[in-house]
Amino acid sequence: MKYEFHQIEEKWQKVWKENQTYKVTEDKSKPKFYVLDMFPYPSGAGLHVGHPLGYIASDIFARYKRLKGFNVLHPMGYDAFGLPAEQYAIQTGQHPADSTKKNIKRYREQLDKIGFCFDWDREVITCEPEYYHWTQWAFLKMFNCWYDNKTNKATPIESLIAEFEANGNQNIDAATDLEGTFTSDEWKSWDEAKQEETLQKFRIAFLSDTMVNWCPALGTVLANDEVKDGVSERGGHPVEQKKMKQWCLRVTAYAQRLLDSLDELGWTDSLKEMQKNWIGRSEGATVYFPIKDSNERMEIFTTRPDTIYGVTFMVLAPESELIEQVTTSDQKAAVDAYLDKAKRKTERERMQDKTISGVFTGGYCKHPFTNEDIPIWIGDYVLGSYGTGAIMAVPAHDERDWAFAKHFNIPIVEVVAGGDVQEASHDAKSGKLVNSDLINGLDVKDAIPKIIAEIDSRGLGSRKVNFRLRDAIFARQRYWGEPFPIYFKDGIPKPLDESDLPLRLPEVDAFKPTETGEPPLGRAKNWTTKDGYPIELSTMPGFAGSSAYYLRYMDPHNDKGLVSKEANEYWQDVDLYIGGTEHATGHLIYSRFWNKFLYDLGYVCKDEPFKKLVNQGMIQGRSNLVYRVKGTNQFVSLGLKDKYETSTLHVDVNIVENDILDTEAFKKWRPDFKDAEFILEDGKYVCGYANEKMSKSLFNVVNPDDVIAKYGTDTFRLYEMFLGPIQQSKPWNTSGIEGIYRFLLKVWRLYNRDDQFNVVDETATADELKSLHKCIKKVDGDIQNFDFNTAISAMMICVNELSDLKCNKREILEKFVVMLCPFAPHIAEELWSLLGHTTTVTLADFPTHDEKYLVESNWNCPVSVNGKLKFVLDLPVDYGKAEIEKAVMEDERTKALLNGKNLAKLIVVPKKIVNLVIK
């Protein structure tokens, strides 16, 4: 028999499908293990060789765990709602539902060819009503909850309303936008609209009139993580700041918890660091500065309250509502002119423009300690969206304040010794305080708590923790998303009843967005409740559907709830999550928030969803380049190109092999190259190369289907893993794939000699056992550490050794095939069945190594003098320190080396090296 990989792979994929080999149920007799991939977004381009990298790794791990006796949940689905799918549909003139369906079909075909062990019975597709039912359900729960800071959890809104009716809000400590207090009488005196307006400031899903990232080209608002450098992440369209009424999620209520539980997670440090930065906790104080000749006060946030005696001016963000009050009549014209100019700048321009600008309002504050007058300025280096949108400026000890003060000639007062504050700001977080009355002489770290205590006791403010994290803007003025289960009665938002879910996405005659922001759902007919009340027109953003999909896999067909208690208690959480870093500040924050919310309400049993997370690197494209001699149709090979004046062109990597161009295919590639001529070197045309993003326009996209057609999927799987460490980004390059194919061929020949199955029931030799057990030990450890590349190397070594030994013993080969199974399951199944098994290899036990076969009779003991290797001594492997020492000292060569010299020290580390130190 030959190694007919296509036949073998097709055969076993069919067997797995027919036998439902990978279907899992909650089996309490086995320990569970949940391996999850970040489900794909089915784009129009299909999968390229970069996509399966993580899927192959997780598949290997899932198969390994199964062989180790775990009940493994390894599901797959599609993140199908959202902006890119809709953009693709618009561009290709299709309905997003149709294009999504087609794309999913294509993805499935491609995934199936790779031979994954997914339980497809558990597939979830986020755009299907059976799934988004539970996205809407979770939203309703968030709408109907507030966050109680006293108990530190989300709590049903009824308890808040009851408290308002009894005592107003004075005893409430909640995550809220509300400022000030009201009494129960006041609450009762308000009409429904006013009451609801107040409740919105407490709900976890709430409507808010807020500054949003508005993207005119996409016709929608975007969340902060969807905006990079002032342009949309999708498509790179400009984004502007606009005040709009929007649905938001109160993610900030969970900021501290999201930060705290990060420590327990088995994620990489860099990913945790990214989330920490995104959450952006900073400790400091809020301080009130009374406004001169007014009852109002200006609230600021500072991390350096110790520098308060160095304040020489205050700055308001151009968006600040205080501006109107503090601006004097003679400054009004100047202020208006400045604000007008500031407003016309987009966020991006404001970020890029590093020139100092500002204007004096004419108004003053009183310094809370010294009672001196402090001028109030407006400056666009202060952000309206962070802290209170106002700062106390300490030019001596803050670089930005210093630049502003220098520019406008404002005094600079030193309060921390150690720098020359007239020359540059001294931002050090240590040093002695000067010119600071109460805290003079203290070091910064002691001055901070002292001054906060002082601020607190005088009622001038309080200790305060600020977060950079913003509430998530949760509405999109687009068609392709989950409809909100909210209707409006007299303009007041009301939740739909849970029994009315799912609220199906209606048909519309045109689903394209509008530049002005009227959502497409406005065109839907009868988009009202049974009673005729209008339903919310926005849809939910892409991250809504992906925030709880891992829970749905536990119980995908449940029509009573997102996940049943039994299923959730069995599967608990994701033991291993594999995906890219690009979701660090989006999906991975939102799901953690979503999960914690459901945890608070008791719907899930774990506070954190993803126990361990591995980030796979990206596979870049390896573009090939050809060099056309200018003005001709001649192409010159890489080595000769410097002799000509050339222009460089990208060429389709599929007609290049190992950088050698297939010149005939090139002529057929494009009509204008039909008559191309080639200047060859050694009879070949050698192409240049460049590592770039894998993209259609660079002709460097490699489709896994093509690789599989040529070498088979077992080779493809092994090769992707052999390319290097899973976490590392690397360019795709097929030049080494032959080596992997040869490896599988060698494996095949181990079981089949001269095309005949040839395995015998004989006792294995010590060498054979040693080779196998060494390999098992290495592969077992490597899989657990995700070092798949070195595991494969170990198996290659083993196969080479067994081939040299001409080993065809069942005892050895049976164990080897099980070990190979997670990596190359199809060939493993075939060999397993050739070995006479009637069940699939999936049900076998992963072999365990036995140290006794690894013990060597002798080992080489290197002996060095002053760090230089002098000779090697053969010693019994069980020698201890003293015996090694004795053997070394008695050796003739040692005596020769020591001849007349003094031995200063002898360092013996068993099984390592012996060092003689000679003076």
> Rounded to an integer, what distance in angstroms lies between the CA atom of residue 24 and that of residue 63?
13
The interface with RNA within residues 642-661 (CB under 7 A) comprises: 657-658
Q: Which of 129, 522, 639, 724 binds RNA (CB under 7 A)?
A: 724
The yes or no reply on residue 668 touching RNA (CB under 7 A) is no
> Rounded to an integer, what distance in angstroms lies between the CA atom of residue 206 and that of residue 34?
34
Q: Which stretch binds RNA (CB under 7 A): 130-138, 365-373, 545-553, 719-727?
A: 719-727
CB of 662 to RNA, least distance (A): 8
Q: Which of 70, 190, 381, 673 binds RNA (CB under 7 A)?
A: 381
Q: Which stretch binds RNA (CB under 7 A): 289-297, 328-336, 529-537, 902-910?
A: 902-910
> Rounded to an integer, what distance in angstroms lies between the CA atom of residue 471 and that of residue 482?
19
> Rounded to an integer, what distance in angstroms lies between the CA atom of residue 440 and that of residue 156?
50
Q: How far is CA 39 from the centre of its chain?
A: 13
The interface with RNA within residues 803-832 (CB under 7 A) comprises: 804
Q: How many residues bind RNA (CB under 7 A)?
A: 79
Q: Which residues of 395-423 are buried (b: 16+ CB within 10 A; e: fewer)?
A: bbbbebbbbbbeebebebbbbbeebebee
Residues 6+ positions from 899 with CB-CB distance below 8 Å: none
| Strand 358-366 with 373-379, pairing | antiparallel
Residue with tokens 């001529």: 677
The interface with RNA within residues 255-294 (CB under 7 A) comprises: 269-270, 273-274, 277-278, 280, 282, 284
The yes or no reply on residue 101 touching RNA (CB under 7 A) is no
Q: Which of 740, 776, 818, 827 binds RNA (CB under 7 A)?
A: 740
The interface with RNA within residues 437-476 (CB under 7 A) comprises: 466, 468
> Rounded to an integer, what distance in angstroms lies between the CA atom of residue 654 and that of residue 632?
24
The yes or no reply on residue 22 touching RNA (CB under 7 A) is no
DSSP structure string for 108-156: HHHHHHHT----GGG--BTTSHHHHHHHHHHHHHHHTEEEETTTTEEEE
Q: Which stretch binds RNA (CB under 7 A): 60-68, 178-186, 819-827, 906-914?
A: 906-914
CB of 781 to RNA, least distance (A): 9
CB of 658 to RNA, least distance (A): 6
Task: Pick the closer one to RNA by CB: 625 or 797.
Answer: 797
Question: Is 841 in contact with 829 (CB distance < 8 Å)?
Answer: yes
The yes or no reply on residue 383 touching RNA (CB under 7 A) is yes
Task: Pick the closer one to RNA by CB: 59 or 401.
Answer: 401
Q: What does residue 363 show for φ and ψ, rounded to 5 degrees?
A: -90, 165
Task: Pick the closer one to RNA by CB: 317 or 598.
Answer: 317
Nearest to 669 by CA among 626, 705, 622: 626
Residue 365, SS3 per DSSP: strand
The yes or no reply on residue 728 touching RNA (CB under 7 A) is yes
CB of 449 to RNA, least distance (A): 16
The interface with RNA within residues 869-888 (CB under 7 A) comprises: 869, 872
| Contact characters 317-346, RNA, x per CB under 7 A | x-----------------------------
The interface with RNA within residues 750-779 (CB under 7 A) comprises: none
Put the strands of the sheet holding 903-908 in their side by side order.
868-876, 858-865, 914-918, 903-908
| Contact characters 570-609, RNA, x per CB under 7 A | -----------xx-xx------------------------
Q: Which of 77, 115, 387, 609 binds RNA (CB under 7 A)?
A: 387
Task: Pick the closer one to RNA by CB: 110 or 302.
Answer: 302
The yes or no reply on residue 106 touching RNA (CB under 7 A) is no
The interface with RNA within residues 780-799 (CB under 7 A) comprises: 787, 789-790, 792-793, 796-797
The yes or no reply on residue 739 touching RNA (CB under 7 A) is yes
> Rounded to an integer, what distance in angstroms lies between the CA atom of residue 88 and that of residue 95?
10
The interface with RNA within residues 113-172 (CB under 7 A) comprises: none
Task: Pick the closer one to RNA by CB: 198 or 915.
Answer: 915
Residue 17, SS3 per DSSP: helix
- DSSP β-bridge partners for residue 871: 863
The yes or no reply on residue 236 touching RNA (CB under 7 A) is no
Dihedral angle computed from the Cα positions of residues 222, 223, 226 and 227, in that order, rounded to the nearest 10 degrees: 80
Tokens of 493: 């938002």
> Rounded to an integer, what distance in angstroms lies between the CA atom of residue 59 and that of residue 61?
5
Q: Which stretch binds RNA (CB under 7 A): 297-305, 451-459, 642-650, 834-842?
A: 297-305
The yes or no reply on residue 864 touching RNA (CB under 7 A) is yes
> Rounded to an integer, what distance in angstroms lies between the CA atom of residue 56 and that of residue 285?
50
Task: Pick the closer one to RNA by CB: 163 or 401.
Answer: 401
Q: HSE (CB half, 13 Å, CA atoms) of 68? A: 17
Tokens of 624: 């090939």
Residues shown for the chain: 919
The yes or no reply on residue 184 touching RNA (CB under 7 A) is no
